[in-house]
Amino acid sequence: MINLAVFGVGRIGHVHAINASGLGSVRIKYLVDPIAGEHQAHLAARLGAESVSADTVFSDSSIDGVIIASSTDTHAELLLKAAKSGKAIFCEKPVSLNFATVEAVTNAVNASGVSCLLAFQRRYDPDFRFVRDRVLSGDAGTLEHIVMHTRDPSPPSLAYIGHSGGMFRDQAIHDFDMARYLLGEEITTVYAVGNCLIDKAFGDAGDIDTAMVTLTSASGRFVQMINCRRAPFGYDQRLEVLCSKEVLYVENRPQRGVTIADVSGFRGSPPMNYFIERFAAAYRDEMAAFVDMIETGQVPLAGIRDGLEAQRIAEAAIVSIQSGMPIHIGPDWRP
C-alpha cells in the first residue's frame, strides 16, 4: 500500500486526490489545505483521509509521496521539503514564477535523488500519446514542423491574471513542453508577438491575451504556436505535426456526438469545456504513472527538468515581446 498526502484540494487537487484514491494500491492519508475548510473536510471523509499541517506530512515516515497542487507560490518550498524528507513528488506546474527559483529547486530536487513527476498532463493524454508514439515508431516519417493552437474558452479574471505569471508561464508553457517533447531536442530561438486584442484590461495587468510564437529547434526544425485567452466556440486545443509521410492531427474533442442540420447547414457540437473534462483521461493516467514511479521506479514522461526547460522558453518569449527581437537560448540562458 502506498501512502500519499495531497497539498491543495482546489479544483485540480481534488481531481488528483480522487484519481489517486481510485488506484487499488493507494491510500490518501493526508490532505493539507489551510483555506479549503468544509470542502476539505468533506473530501477527507470521502477518502478516509486526515486534514493536517504540512509538518505532519514531512515528519511521517509512512508517507511515500506527495501531490503538490496548492497555489504556485507554495510549490518551491514544498518541493524542497519533499526532496529533503525523501518523499516522491508529483508537482503541478510551474515550479515558481521566478526563473532563478525554478533553477535552484530543480537542482536541489535532482541532487536529492528523489524522483519527481512534473504534471505536464498533456504528455499523458491518449491522443497526444498516440501522436508521439506514431512519430517515434517511424511510420509517419521524419518530423519536420509543428503547429499548435491553444485558446481558452474565455479569458480568466483580472485577479487570476495578476498572480498567474502571464499567459506564457501559465498557459503556453504546456505548448513549450509539447514542442520539446515531440521534437526530442531543445529549442534554440524564440520569437513571439503579443497584444491585448480581446480586452485592454489585460494589458493594464501586465499581460497579453493573444500571442503567436515561432520556435526553432537545435537542428533547424520549426514550431508555430497560436495562444489566445478566448475562442468564440470554447476550448481550442489542437496539434498538427507534419512529418515526411503523414500529417498527424490532435483534434478537439466534442462535448456531444450530435449533429443538427437545418437550412443553415450542419452544426457539430462545441468542444469539451474545459481542461478538466478534456484531459480527464490524462489526469488519470499521469496519477497512475506517479504511483508506478513509486512502486517500480518507472521514469515518468515528464520530470522536474522539463519544467525548467519549458519555463526557459516562456521567459525567452516574454523577453522577445519586450524587445521585439528573436531570442537565442541555450542551457546557460537566463532571463
Q: Which residues bind its own copies (CB under 8 A)?
A: 24, 46, 126-127, 130-131, 134, 140-141, 144-145, 147, 149, 151, 189, 191, 193, 195, 197-198, 210, 212, 214, 216, 220-222, 224, 226, 228, 231-234, 242-254, 256-270, 324-326
Q: Cell numbers for 102, please give them.
A: 525554478
Of 111 and 261, CB closest to its own copies: 261
Q: Is the alpha carbon torsion for 311, 315, 317, 318 positive or negative?
A: positive
**At closest approach, how far in Å is the CB of 115 from its own copies?**
28
Of 166 and 194, CB closest to its own copies: 194
Indicate the angle between helix axes 11-21 and 37-47, nearest 10 degrees.
10
Q: Cell numbers for 305, please give them.
A: 527538468
**At closest approach, how far in Å is the CB of 229 from its own copies?**
11
Residues 325 and 322: their CA atoms lie apart, in Å, by 8
Q: Which residues, 6 or more positions from 128, have their beta carbon under 8 angstroms from its beta carbon?
A: 122, 178, 239, 250, 282
Residues 58 and 245: their CA atoms lie apart, in Å, by 51
Of 98 and 195, CB closest to its own copies: 195
Of 126 and 162, CB closest to its own copies: 126
Residues 99 and 133: their CA atoms lie apart, in Å, by 31
Residues 189 and 327: their CA atoms lie apart, in Å, by 5
Of 106 and 237, CB closest to its own copies: 237
